[in-house]
């Protein structure tokens, strides 16, 4: 017969699975739960296929642990990895960059779960969980994110603690308390590092890419409906605090992008020219304030119209728009001064006026015809302005967040057909009427008013306060602000957006509600968030210097900070060690077991090592075999230990002293080590 005797030919099989790690199902569930908790915040930032991929992998691992199935084969994991890499390439067209790298890391983490079979693999997964918690701050740094991350770290640490209990399952309370103690110790060290470690300019975390105007705020262009969509957002645009809060804070105009170029539908800013010298005439007192601006990925800053002093690292354009040197990609705090009542721009360049008169030839023919009738009546520029505002005031125009779409010519359709619009509709149509009449005009966008938080005194300006108005150039007066929205809906200017639009239209819930407890809760949360932004996210080198100066450390440098940091950290570590030492000393010590272990150790030094499986009786007889002349003393020690340890003899101070004396006497009589024990 072919083949040697005793040879067994096994059928050829395809190796699909590998051995499973020696972990209980609760251990598997704890690890998988930790991974799921850490990955949950990333769902909003990664493609849908990534979420499905990770969920399927976690469920596969959970089911395999429940059924005690072997692990998938290596070639299957390589296939899954290739699918993940292909998905990232399809979604981002690259493997480099923040978003693609995080997506790939999520996929590879769950693939690591599918090959977890050794303690080293578990350690790698735990470290990846900590890292995934950190990179969540690449997208957002809110207080909610910080609290969630703190909870996620607690879960991961608790999982690590539970995995140390191999003989029997860990008790839930013990695991939670132990991980909580570890976390609280780490938080104390973290606070010292945060306060004393030398801070640098700029954010430590990346910021999300701004893609939607509803999230980023105002845009560099304006078309019908753009601000109406933005007004539905309850997100905060910026906060401001004043040396003295103005009495009419709701009527403050916060100047932003200015538009002079019009193509028949959309207004754009065009080329911005920096103003080398700025002159204006103040008609009232100036106000000083500071602004904490949320990141919007643009260069413009928001100041009360009109600025009389500029923040650091900013310039003023010819249309009086304040621009930062670089895009605002992190929360920015700046101090400024403004004069709300002013006269500016009496003398301007001819090119600037020409730009403020430009109008496409085919734009708004019906509006042009109407304005020509006004001019035929001999009306001057100021009278034409008044006539346009009276038209908005007396005819059935409606201020609404839900304007109908404007398809063909937006201005003609709005003025003569729909007559329903938001502030950008009125500002755009007013500007077209003025230019058709030969009156220079431009559109200004920004924010109007704000809400004073009674908890911390900050003026909170939200995206829903976005507004558009006009500036008309009048000879002898310069650029004069006119707000056509005020002619249609005075409530918008006097009491805010919520009171100006119909009650049936959609608005953010907290903006519409009249429930006082909900309003108070919102103010409290805004104040907490503002404190977080100012003292945690805004803990800049300047604020760190001011904070340390309040403790008398006014001339401290970074070298001194590092010395203070090491000193404070050392004190904390020594304090923790001292507390642990005192707790260990305070524990009740089993004197009987302590004396027996010392006796066994002394015998081991003489060459008689007690075996792990050897009881006190057997060990005693083995010691007797090496010291037969001392059999009575040796057996006396063994009998005393057995009687006291197992309850035959009453344990008291006299009995313990007797055992100690017998052990000491035997140690003196067996001073020479035994060879070849």
Quick: pLDDT tens for 211-228.
Answer: 333 345 788 899 887 787
Bridge partners of residue 469, in order along the sequence: 444
Query: What is the percent of the chain with per-residue pLDDT over 70, rounded to a whole number?
Result: 86
Catalytic: which of 99, 319, 483, 526?
A: 483
The single residue of 199, 409, 423, 526 carrying the catalytic annotation is: 423
Q: Is 69 a catalytic residue?
A: no
Active site annotation includes 467:
yes
pLDDT for residue 125 is more than 50: yes
pLDDT-derived band at 275, boundaries 50, 70, 90: confident
Average of per-residue pLDDT across 307-328: 92
Mean pLDDT of 5-28: 52
- pLDDT band for 366, please (50, 70, 90 cuts): very high
Q: 71 pLDDT exceeds 60?
A: yes
The 3-state secondary structure of 165-195 reads: CCCCCCCHHHHHHHHHHHHHHHHHHHHHHHH
- Of the candidate ranges 183-197, 497-511, 527-541, the one whose mean pLDDT is the lowest: 497-511
Q: Assess whether pLDDT exceeds 80 at residue 159.
A: yes
Position 653 scores a pLDDT of 77
**106: pLDDT confidence band, cut at 50, 70 and 90?**
very high
Per-residue pLDDT band for 338 (boundaries 50, 70, 90) equals very high
pLDDT confidence of residue 4:
42
In this structure, of 121-125, 362-366, 532-536, the range with the lowest mean pLDDT score is 532-536
Query: What's the pLDDT at 206?
Result: 46
Q: Which residue blocks in 136-285 are alpha helix, DSSP H?
A: 143-163, 172-196, 213-216, 226-230
Residues 460-475 have a mean pLDDT of 92
The predicted pLDDT at position 649 comes to: 62
CB 139 within 8 A of CB 146: no
The predicted model gives 631-646 an average pLDDT of 87
Which residue in the list 28, 199, 296, 467 is annotated as catalytic?
467
Spell out a b/e string for 199-231, using b for 16 or more CB atoms within 10 Å of the CB, else e.
beeeeeeebbebeebeebbbbebbbbbbbbebb
Q: Average pLDDT of the chain?
A: 83
| Residue 514 confidence (pLDDT) above 80 | no
- With b for 16 or more beta-carbon neighbours within 10 A and e for fewer, the 346-358 pattern comes to eeeeeebeebbbe
Q: Which residues contact 278 (CB under 8 A, 6 or more apart)?
A: 316, 320
pLDDT over threshold 90, residue 391:
yes
pLDDT over 70 at 546, yes or no: yes
* Radius of gyration in angstroms for the set of CA atoms belonging to the chain, rounded to a whole number: 39
Average pLDDT over residues 98-120: 88
The answer to whether 675 and 626 have CB atoms below 8 angstroms apart is: no
Note the pLDDT of residue 214.
36
Please name the residues in contact with 604: beta carbons below 8 A apart, sequence gap of 6 or more.
Answer: 610
Mean pLDDT over 256-273 rounds to 90
Whether 651 shows a pLDDT value over 80: the answer reads no
**Higher pLDDT pick, 617 / 275:** 617
d(CA 246, CA 391): 32
Least confident span in 229-238, 408-417, 524-533, 540-549: 540-549
Calculate mean pLDDT across residues 128-141: 88
Q: Is the pTM of this model over 0.85?
A: no
Mean pLDDT of 55-68: 89
Q: Give the Cα separation of 258 and 262 in Å (integer).
A: 12
Residue 3: pLDDT above 60? no
What pLDDT does residue 507 have?
56
Tell me the torsion sign for CA atoms 318, 468, 251, 484.
Answer: positive
Q: What percentage of the chain exceeds 90 in pLDDT?
A: 34
Q: What does 315-343 look like in DSSP terms, one character per residue? A: EEBTT--EEESS---S-EEEEEEE-SSEE
Q: Is 483 a catalytic residue?
A: yes
Asked if pLDDT for residue 33 goes beyond 60, the answer is yes
Tokens of 553: 């450390």
User: What average pLDDT does this structure show over 432-438?
Assistant: 95
Calculate the alpha carbon distances from 166 to 26, 159, 361, 503, 675 in Å: 11, 13, 83, 63, 39
What does the pLDDT read at residue 253? 94
pLDDT, mean of residues 409-414: 93
Instruction: Quote the longest CA-to-CA distance of the chain.
Output: 138
Question: With 60 as the cut, is the pLDDT of residue 556 above it?
Answer: yes
Higher pLDDT, 553 or 591: 591
Residue 178 pLDDT exceeds 90:
no
């Amino acid at each position: 017969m072919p083949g040697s005797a005793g040879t067994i030919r096994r059928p050829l099989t395809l190796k699909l699975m590998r051995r499973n790690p020696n972990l209980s199902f609760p251990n598997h569930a704890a690890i998988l739960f930790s991974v799921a908790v850490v990955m949950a915040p990333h769902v909003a930032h990664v493609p849908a296929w990534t979420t499905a991929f990770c969920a399927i992998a976690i469920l596969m691992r959970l089911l395999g642990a429940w059924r005690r199935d072997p692990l998938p084969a290596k070639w299957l994991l390589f296939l899954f990895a290739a699918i993940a890499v292909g998905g990232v390439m399809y979604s981002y067209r690259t493997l480099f960059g923040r978003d693609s790298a995080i997506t790939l890391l999520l996929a590879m983490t769950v693939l690591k779960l599918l090959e977890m079979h050794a303690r080293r693999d578990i350690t790698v997964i735990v470290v990846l969980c900590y890292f995934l918690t950190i990179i969540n701050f690449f997208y957002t740094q809110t207080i909610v994110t910080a609290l969630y991350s703190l909870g996620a770290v607690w879960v991961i640490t608790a999982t690590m603690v539970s995995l140390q209990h191999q003989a029997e399952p860990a008790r839930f309370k013990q695991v939670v308390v132990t991980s909580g103690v570890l976390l609280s110790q780490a938080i104390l060290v973290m606070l010292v590092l945060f306060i004393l470690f030398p801070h640098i300019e700029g954010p430590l975390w990346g910021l999300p890419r701004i893609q939607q105007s509803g999230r980023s705020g105002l845009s560099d262009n304006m078309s019908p409906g753009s601000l109406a969509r933005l007004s539905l957002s309850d997100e905060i645009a910026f906060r401001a605090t004043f040396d003295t809060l103005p009495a009419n804070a709701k009527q403050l105009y916060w100047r932003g992008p200015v538009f002079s170029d019009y193509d028949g539908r959309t207004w754009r800013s065009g080329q911005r020219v920096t103003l080398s010298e700025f002159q204006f005439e103040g008609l009232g007192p100036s106000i000083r304030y500071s602004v904490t601006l949320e990141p919007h990925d643009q260069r413009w800053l928001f100041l009360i119209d009109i600025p009389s002093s500029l923040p650091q690292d900013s310039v003023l354009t010819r249309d009086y728009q304040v621009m930062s040197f670089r895009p605002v990609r992190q929360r920015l705090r700046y101090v400024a001064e403004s004069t709300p009542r002013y006269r500016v721009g009496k003398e301007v360049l001819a090119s600037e006026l020409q730009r403020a008169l430009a109008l496409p030839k085919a734009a708004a023919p019906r509006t042009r015809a109407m304005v020509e009738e006004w001019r035929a009546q001999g009306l001057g520029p100021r009278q034409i302005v008044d006539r346009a505002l009276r038209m908005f005031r007396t005819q059935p125009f409606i201020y609404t967040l839900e304007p109908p779409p404007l398809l063909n010519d937006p201005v003609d359709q709005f003025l003569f057909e729909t007559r329903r619009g938001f502030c950008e509709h009125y500002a755009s149509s007013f500007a077209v009427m003025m230019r058709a009449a030969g009156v220079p005009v431009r559109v200004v966008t920004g924010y109007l008013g704000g809400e004073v938080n009674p908890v911390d005194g900050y003026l909170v300006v939200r995206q829903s306060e976005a507004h558009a108005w006009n500036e008309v150039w009048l000879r002898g007066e310069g650029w004069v602000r006119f707000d056509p929205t005020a002619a249609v809906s005075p409530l918008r200017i006097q009491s805010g957006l919520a009171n100006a639009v119909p009650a049936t239209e959609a608005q953010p819930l907290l903006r519409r509600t009249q429930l006082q407890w909900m309003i108070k809760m919102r103010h409290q949360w805004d104040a907490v968030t503002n404190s977080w932004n100012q003292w945690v996210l805004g803990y800049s080198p300047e604020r760190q210097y001011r904070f340390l100066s309040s403790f008398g450390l006014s001339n401290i440098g970074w070298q001194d900070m590092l010395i203070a940091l090491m000193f404070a950290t050392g004190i904390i570590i020594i304090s923790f060690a001292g507390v642990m030492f005192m707790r260990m000393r305070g524990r009740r010590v089993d004197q009987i077991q302590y004396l027996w272990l010392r006796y066994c150790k002394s015998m081991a030094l003489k060459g008689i090592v007690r075996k792990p499986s050897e009881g006190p009786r057997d060990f005693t007889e083995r010691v007797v075999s090496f010291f037969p002349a001392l059999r009575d003393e040796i057996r006396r020690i063994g009998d005393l230990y057995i009687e006291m340890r197992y309850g035959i003899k009453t344990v008291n101070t006299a009995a313990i002293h007797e055992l100690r004396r017998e052990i000491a006497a035997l140690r003196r009589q067996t001073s020479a080590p035994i060879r070849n024990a």
